[in-house]
Amino acid sequence: MTTASCHHGRGQRLLVLAQRHLTWVMPVAYGAAALLPQAGRWARRMPCGALWLPGGGQAVLTLQTLLLAYVLFIAALQVRVRDLTVLLRRPALLMAGTAANTAVPLLILLLLAGTFLLLPDADGGSGLLTGLALIAAMPVAGGATVWGSRAGGNQTLVVGLVMSSTLLSPLTIPLTLAGAAAVTSGTYSLALARMAHLAGGAHAAAGVVAPCLMGVAIRAALPERLIARALPWLKLLALAAALALTYLNACGAFADLIARPRPALLALATMAAAAMCAASFVLGWCLARMLRAAHADAIALTFTSGMNNSSASAVLATTGFPGHPHVLLPILAYSVLQKLLAGLADHALAGRRPADGEGAAVGPYLGRGTVPPLDRLQ
């Protein structure tokens, strides 16, 4: 056995070990944000450059932006161009998953709106509903690529759904925020209506689609053997980047929560976020079953339906509602819960995984060209 093979084998073993304990390591990042928020708040304010967008716009690069870009780059690096072409030739699951990411959270938001508006604290009710609206408006989270890969999902479909939902975000974000403005009141409704007219999705598209395209292009340009040798170590760094991103996102929200604890409001925000997140996971799995998707594709649809970009939601909450910190409460709760539910979904789906040789069963929408999971491609 060569030195390169030993090096690759060691990296693969470490990667499997890290993925196995990912469910329990994520809460540690939140605990660190609660106990040691100073370093995270300093890192969040640290500028890392700027990116010029088409049309003359400019996006400020932060450490969070760079960490998310690296996670997405590594996810796309695992995708081969020929697999994407298969996905585009049979776009039914891609279209269904993209539609579900937009429609499912909005539907749940509208169902929760009636309950929230009955609360005696009208300000708190609309504030929490606004936080849920900011979650519902966001495209698929980049972290879905990490969890989808860990669960054995179709990585090509996961990356395709991240890219497609983000490319459509200049249309879907205003649509969702306008719907939320209609069911909220006062300054919240006015602020959501104003935000619905801003092209915030263009910044998200640049920050998500660019690293994805770069990863696919580099995978096509470099020798397959070189990619296979380096990928376990690069994926380990991506897991570390995801942990760091979790810590940084939590630091901002925990500061106000610790300074002014409001247990009743926090409990209500947690229950509402749990309802939205759990229903999104379940409806994603039900959609996959209705489409008779292959197992790896069903995992991809489940995780992309249940995981929205809470990092972008937190940014919109802090910039759009600086005087209303409780808007962040459901976003913070959702950020924690979607990772915990992702771990539970991974555990539940583990018992349903087909044995080797049984995964060839495919649904009518993808046919014999179904893209297999990453582990079978390498």
Residue 81's pLDDT is 77
Which string of DSSP letters, residue by residue, matches 142-156? THHHHHHHHTT--HH
Residue 310's pLDDT is 80
Residue 127's pLDDT is 82
Sequence-ordered list of residues with C-beta below 8 angstroms from that of 221, at least 6 positions apart, any chain: none
Averaged pLDDT, groups of 10, the chain, 378 residues long? 60 73 73 80 73 58 80 80 76 87 85 72 71 87 80 86 81 84 83 72 62 85 87 86 80 66 78 90 91 90 88 73 76 84 81 45 34 34
Q: How far apart, in Å, are the Cα atoms of 50 and each of 33, 53, 72, 282, 319? A: 26, 10, 19, 39, 18
Distance CA 210, CA 127 (A): 33
Using the Cα atoms of residue 196, residue 201, residue 204 and residue 208 in order, give the sign of their dihedral: positive
Whether the pTM exceeds 0.85: the reply is no
Q: What are the structure tokens assigned to 367, written together?
A: 């046919």
Q: What are the structure tokens assigned to 102, written together?
A: 């937009």
The CA dihedral of 262, 267, 269, 270, to the nearest 10 degrees, is 130
Nearest Cα neighbor of 130 from 190, 220, 78, 55 is 190
Nearest Cα neighbor of 212 from 248, 180, 164 is 164
308 forms beta bridges with 140
Residue 281's pLDDT is 92
